[in-house]
């Protein structure tokens, strides 16, 4: 059973298919986060396509954030599919993340226990170098950085 109130994605144990991205959780977190962080706040019901340029901009910002969050969640779940060494780093029983605290949320491998954060939407996300090497080997048969 998946607790979709706090989980953005899930992959079966040991990287077995399938993986899921729970869109409703991502959508809800994005809406709540947008309302809390914008001044003036995004209204609780956005009218599409919007009546004013401001309303259109609010709607577009929300949709873009949700799309990025879905992509970030899918990338993280891909890491589970390939059993990457540092996937869920800092999670219970997992390896510690080999980067300093301010950079951890920018890792697709990073584990967080709770709702997905939209604080870092738009910031570049990264794989750790060792996991880039693993993905290159798996996906294109390349060993080491080129």
In a domain, 25, yes or no: yes
Longest dimension (CA), the chain: 53
8 A C-beta contact, residue 125 and residue 106: yes
| Structural domain includes residue 86 | yes
Most confident of 6-10, 43-47, 127-131, 137-141: 127-131
Domain presence at residue 3: no
* Segment 63-94, tens digit of pLDDT: 777 777 788 788 888 888 888 999 989 888 99
Decide if 102 is inside a domain: yes
pLDDT tens, residue by residue, 111-129 = 877 655 555 555 678 899 9
- Domain around 121: 9-140
pLDDT of residue 77: 84
Cα 84 to chain centroid, rounded? 16
Residues contacting 121, CB < 8 A, separation 6+: 64, 65, 68, 69
Cis peptide before 18 (omega within 30 of 0): yes
Q: What is the pLDDT of residues 19-40, one digit of tens each?
A: 777 777 777 766 666 666 655 6
Rounded to whole angstroms, the Cα distance separating 42 from 49 reads: 14
Residue 55 confidence (pLDDT) = 79
Residue 146 lies inside a defined structural domain of this protein:
no
Tell me, letter by letter, the H, E, C secondary structure of the chain.
CCCCCCCCEEECHHHCCCEEECHHHHHHHHHHHHHHHCCCCCCCCCCCCCCCHHHHHHHHHHHHHHHHHHHHHHHHHHHHHCCCCCCCECCCCCCCCCCCHHHHHHECCECCCCCCCCCCCCCCCECCHHHHHHHHHHHHCCCCCC
Domain tally, the chain? 1
Any bridge partners for residue 110, and if so which? 89
Per the prediction, the chain carries an average pLDDT of 75
Q: What pLDDT sits at residue 1?
A: 41
Whole-angstrom Cα distance, residue 26 to residue 75?
14
Whether 2 is covered by a domain: the verdict is no
Please answer whether residues 25 and 6 qualify as being in contact, where contact means their C-beta atoms are separated by less than 8 angstroms: yes
Q: Is residue 124 part of a domain?
A: yes
């Amino acid at each position: 059973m998946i607790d979709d109130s706090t989980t953005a994605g899930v992959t079966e144990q040991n990287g077995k298919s399938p993986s899921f991205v729970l869109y409703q959780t991502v959508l809800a977190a994005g809406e709540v986060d947008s309302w809390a962080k914008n001044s003036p706040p995004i209204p609780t019901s956005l009218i599409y396509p919007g009546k004013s340029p401001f309303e259109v901009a609010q709607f577009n910002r929300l949709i873009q954030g949700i799309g990025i969050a879905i992509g970030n969640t899918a990338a993280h779940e891909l890491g589970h599919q390939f059993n990457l060494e540092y996937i869920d780093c800092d999670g219970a029983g997992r390896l510690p993340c080999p980067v300093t605290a301010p950079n951890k949320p920018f890792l697709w491998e990073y584990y967080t226990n709770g709702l997905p954060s939209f604080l870092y939407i738009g910031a570049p996300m990264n794989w750790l170098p060792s996991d880039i090497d693993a993905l290159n080997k798996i996906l294109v048969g390349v060993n080491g950085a080129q």
